Amino acid sequence: MTAVASEAEGLRWGTSQGRGALAATVLGSSLTFLAATSITVALPALAEDLDADVATLSWTVNAYTLTLAALVLLGGSLGDRFGRRRLFVIGTVWLTVTSLICGLAPNAEALIAARALQGVGGALLTPASLAILQASFVASDRSKAVGAWSGLAGVATAIGPLVGGWMVDTWSWRLVFLVNVPLALVVLLLTVKFVPETRSPSDKRLDFTGAALAALGLGGTTYALTGLGDQMSMQSWLVGAAGLVAMVAFVLYERSSSHPMVPLGVFRNRQFTGANVVTFAVYGVLGSTFFLLSVQLQVVLGYSPVLAGAAELPVTVLMLLLSAYAGSLAERIGPRLPMTVGPLVIAASLVLLAGAGEGSSYLTDVLPGIVLLGLGLSATVAPLTATVLAAVDESMVGVASGVNNAVARAAGLFTVAALPAIVGLTQGSVLQNPAEFSSGFRAAMFLSAGMAALGGLLAWVTIRNKLQDDRHACPSSRVHARVHCAVDSTPPAGDGDADRFRRAA
């Protein structure tokens, strides 16, 4: 049975078909969120089973992020061209097959390769999920559908580490990947039955060259950054140099292309550029913090995987509760102060977390830093996203959203690769040297705190309260702020899709 609603009629809120389409997109998006967030609490168990060091663990996280960051904008264009439901189904199947390969991986090398392929599936699935809602629902019900998607997706993000920890405790880290198989079957059944096909025909060429250069650039530089602490080999230098060359080639190609994936002219806007610099600082900090914190809680403080997941839960709960209010406040007083104070609060939280070591109490040594981190993110993320979208002309909002999400992903990619190496955590087994890991974790938290504080100072210097166009300072910006809310080191709930929503709103 196929979906029966025509593109002209559209889906309506409260109908069985509307609820089915919403369920399909929420569950489909949850597959990508779980792939990004639940793996963090499984890292110590994975390290024990596969005898992996920190550098290998960072690649387990980064391989997925790398291909997702490089290809997510292209994935959105493919959905617009060939059909959003079609790409949603292809992405779901692809991510499911690669999740199965991840769960059965015999060694770390096979797992990393499968994670990179898994990110390709995420890049196809993620842009299509929110785009389906904005293109399928009638205009009067679209904001309800997007708001419900955002809230339910936030819940999926929040429980990801907790569910991942439970699965590791129940059986193995492999269950974190294998659980995607039955979930994906439900997604596919709901999609076939309830989701109509939509597309936006265009004569614009797809930027495969730009996507390939982006992947090569991100991959090469990430490889080199991961090896910083190992007295870099000639191979690391050569691969890193090739990555930098690919990045330069990407910029030159995008400047001259008639169909660029990233129109570089958007960076001429100071407000937009400043907001993306702050994005890089904040999401870079998030990437390294949650990567290292989960290991610290288990290896040094002795938490079980499920307790480690629960320990981080207050961050997302606070964001779900407070982000909308932070967006409203920023609309009244302007984004400059919240975007300055928020990163400074994040910096203070990381200084507190740096003191969490062997024998520390959760209530006195971990929870205060976790709560401050949640408050700082709540103050920052909503105004940050609204500022990015308000800084450009209406016709460029989709590009702005996609670029900002790509910047956030790249930031997490680089810091997860570089920071452990900088503080000397690339050598040896994680489990065999808990005291050494704890020392490196402390240094990493202080460095991350400095990066967060720098982000706050940059916001004060570069962000203006007077938006480029007052028509963007409308209530709809609160929707976008909520859509971008996430704590999985990168913004899973935005993923370049707010562009489709804004374009149809």
Angle between helices 139-170 and 108-136 (to 10 degrees): 160
Residues 6+ apart with CB under 8 A from 467: 271, 387, 390, 391, 473
pLDDT in tens, 123-163: 898 888 878 887 888 887 877 787 777 767 767 767 778 88
Report d(CA 336, CA 366) in Å as an integer. Answer: 29
DSSP label at 465? S
Question: How far apart (Å, rounded) are the C-alpha atoms in residues 367 and 435?
Answer: 21
For the chain, which residues make up each domain, given as ranges? 16-196+261-504, 208-260
Q: Would you tell me the crossing angle of helices 336-353 and 313-333 to the nearest 10 degrees?
A: 160
Contact (CB, 8 A) for 18 and 12: yes
User: At 356, which amino acid appears?
Assistant: A
Q: What is the dihedral of CA 123, 227, 412, 37, to 10 degrees?
A: 70
pTM of the model: 0.82
Tokens read off for 41:
């609490």
Query: Are the C-beta atoms of residues 132 and 88 closer than 8 Å to each other?
Result: yes
Q: H or E stretch including 373?
A: helix 367-390
Q: What is the pLDDT of residue 242?
A: 93
- What is the rounded end-to-end Cα distance, in angstroms, of the chain? 30
Query: How far is CA 401 from each of CA 159, 218, 398, 405, 496, rounded to the nearest angstrom?
Result: 25, 20, 5, 6, 5
- CA-CA distance, 501 to 394, in Å (whole number)? 12
CA distance 285 to 289: 6
DSSP helix/strand/coil, 105:
coil
Dihedral angle over CA of 222, 228, 231, 235, nearest 10: 10
Contact yes or no for 489/291 (Cβ under 8 A):
yes
- Structurally, at CATH architecture level, domain 16-196+261-504 sits in Up-down Bundle (1.20)
Which of 425, 490, 493 has its CA nearest to residue 218?
490
Beta pairing partners, 53: 429
Q: How crowded is residue 192: how many other Cβ atoms within 10 Å of its Cβ? A: 14
Cα separation, 101 vs 105, in Å, equals 6
Per DSSP, the three-state class of 31 is: helix
- Listed in sequence order, the residues at least 6 apart from 97 whose beta carbon sits closer than 8 Å to its beta carbon are 121
What is the tens place of the pLDDT at every residue in 379-429?
998 888 888 878 887 667 667 877 888 888 899 999 999 998 888 886 566
CB 414 within 8 A of CB 284: yes
Instruction: State residue 245 phi and psi, 5-degree precision.
Output: -60, -40
Going by C-alpha positions, the residue among 209, 137, 190 that lies closest to residue 500 is 137
Name the stretches of the chain with pLDDT < 70: 1-9, 151, 154, 157, 201-203, 229-232, 394-395, 397-398, 426-431, 466-505
**Residue 503 buriedness (CB in 10 A; 0-12 / 13-18 / 19+):** middle
- Say if CB 318 and CB 152 are below 8 A apart: no
Give the per-residue pLDDT at 6.
42
CA distance 17 to 5: 8
**Under a CB-based contact definition with an 8 Å cutoff, are residues 497 and 479 in contact?**
no
Spatial distance between the Cα atoms of 462 and 384, rounded to a whole number of angstroms = 12
Angle made by CA atoms 290, 493, 214, in degrees to the nearest 5: 80
